[in-house]
Amino acid sequence: MSDITREQFDDVMVPNYAPGKIIPVRGEGSHIWDQDGREYIDFAGGIAVSALGHAHPALVEALTSQGNKLWHLSNVMTNEPAIALAKKLTDLTFADKVYFCNSGAEANEAALKLARRHAWLKHGDDKHEIISTLSSFHGRTLFTVSVGGQAKYKEGFEPTPGGISHVPYNDLAAMEAQISDKTAAVIVEPIQGEGGVTPGKKEYLEGLRALCDKHDALLIFDEVQSGVGRTGELYAYQKYGVTPDVLTTAKALGGGFPIGAMLTTDECAKSLGVGTHGSTYGGNPLACSVSLAVIETLTAPGVLDGVEAKGQRIRDGLAKINERFHLFKEVRGMGLLIGAELVDEWQGKAKEFLGAALDEGAMLLVAGPNVLRFAPSLIIPDADIDEGLARLEKAIEKVVG
């Protein structure tokens, strides 16, 4: 494929993405190499996906050994890896039951449909309202962009489904004013990711739990980004000590192989009886084998214990960079999901720093126009953190001058 170039992308792809100007061809741990053999430190992990870095031996082993056995059955048959993974996830969380799909949007689609149907079965047509938060992101299907709290993702796609409202994030009074006995569900990210890496306040999430209990509404935590070890706990809800009725997970769940899941209680699961929902690929043996290897590797003794310290190492590095350049007004987040918000004079310019960092050999992300986002491998070696930050510092020096 040596005749493939980045320029060809624009000739043959729908223009909904604007990928960086290199084409990566190989990865190992927290390093990526492009077509020209240039090496990069990966602080992005795709988008918070490659939680064990690239080509982790345990995942390669799971993928290749299952790949030689059985890839696909659809849900006309079950399979061993799916049951083993569901067992693992229910053992490790509040959940009693699991529904598998292939992405974060699909996991949220399932959660929202479950919430509506659960309320409908229990209370009838009137209890169907869904309350979400401003700046939230829940995926790109029509239902999930409608529930998401960012108008730009809905523009031109109307009419969108009804019965959905949005209130400011981390504002319990606003939620209290909106919620009623007509509310079927409240959906929040415990840490808003795409919206700018904003952690929910503990009292806020506790308050949501109480409000949902009062109005018999389901509390849905979208942990597509915050889950699978990112905060140092397997799921962020465990860090907060606030338990949802439904939790959605994807991104890092497959460590780079597509899989999503909705986790819930026995009581809620009953509302999705035979034939009510489904997915051709959901729960396929290949994805479930890889995901099982991800969860087993991450939950092995000691692995998640390192997340907090690695996150702190990045924050300390950013603080040092900031002493020199006064570029960040705030560095926030949890564990290895970190957002650095640019000071006023650089607002809107996050992408510029991303491009400059790539030129220096460091891959990072933005979260909106004002925030640099870090979501590296959860086992990134300290030496790679230091080297990546040194490259970022060089890039910043070039941009800021």
Ligand X SMILES: *Cc1c(COP(=O)(O)O)cnc(C)c1O
Q: Which residues are at the interface with ligand X (CB under 6 A)?
A: 103-105, 108, 137-139, 189, 193-194, 222, 224-225, 250-251
Of the pair 31, 373, the CB lying nearest ligand X is at: 373
Identify whether 251 is a catalytic site residue.
yes
What is the Cα 227 distance to its own chain's centre?
7
Residue tagged active-site, from 222, 328, 353, 374: 222
Residue 163 annotated as lining a ligand binding site: no
Q: State the SS3 of the chain.
A: CCCCCCCHHHHHCCCCCCCCCCCEEEEEECEEEECCCCEEEECCHHHHCCCCCECCHHHHHHHHHHHCCCCCCHHHCCCHHHHHHHHHHHHHCCCCEEEEECCHHHHHHHHHHHHHHHHHHHHCCCCCEEEEECCCCCCCCHHHHHHCCCHHHCCCCCCCCCCEEEECCCCHHHHHHHCCCCEEEEEECCEECCCCCEECCHHHHHHHHHHHHHCCCEEEEECCCCCCCCCCCCCHHHHHCCCCCEEEECHHHHECECCEEEEECHHHHCCCCCCCCCCCCCCCHHHHHHHHHHHHHHCCCCCCHHHHHHHHHHHHHHHHHHHHHCCEEEEEEECCEEEEEECHHHCCCHHHHHHHHHHHCEECEECCCCEEEECCCCCCCHHHHHHHHHHHHHHHHHHHC
> Minimum Å distance from CB 100 to ligand X?
13
Is 225 annotated among the ligand-binding residues? yes
With 0-12 / 13-18 / 19 or more C-beta atoms within 10 angstroms meaning exposed / middle / buried, residue 162 is exposed
Q: Which is nearer to ligand X, 228 or 380 (CB)?
A: 228
CB 290 within 8 A of CB 253: no
We find the least distance from the C-beta atom of residue 335 to ligand X, in angstroms, to be 15
- Report the residue number, 182 or 277, with the smaller CB distance to ligand X: 277
140 is in an annotated binding site: yes
Q: Residue 48 CB, nearest distance to ligand X (Å)?
A: 7
Q: Is 74 a known ligand-binding residue?
A: no
Q: Annotation-wise, does 36 bind a ligand? A: no
**Residue 154 a catalytic site member:** no
Give me the least distance between CB of 93 and ligand X, in Å please.
17
Please confirm, yes or no, whether 222 is among the known catalytic residues: yes
Catalytic-labelled residue, pool 42, 100, 127, 137: 137
- To the question of whether residue 279 is assigned a binding role by annotation, the answer is yes
| 223 in a labelled binding site | yes
Catalytic residue, candidates 127, 239, 251, 310: 251
**Shortest separation between residue 340's beta carbon and ligand X, angstroms:** 18
Nearest CB to ligand X, comparing residues 43 and 346: 43
Q: Kindly tell me which of 317 and 376 has the beta carbon lying closer to ligand X.
A: 376
> Which CB atom, from 127 or from 264, has the smaller least distance to ligand X?
264
- Taking the complex as a whole, the smallest distance from the CB of residue 138 to ligand X amounts, in Å, to 5
Catalytic residue list: 137, 222, 251
Binding residues for N(2)-acetyl-L-ornithine: 140, 279
Annotated binding site: 104-105, 137, 140, 222-225, 279-280
Residue numbering of the annotated binding site for pyridoxal 5'-phosphate: 104-105, 137, 222-225, 280
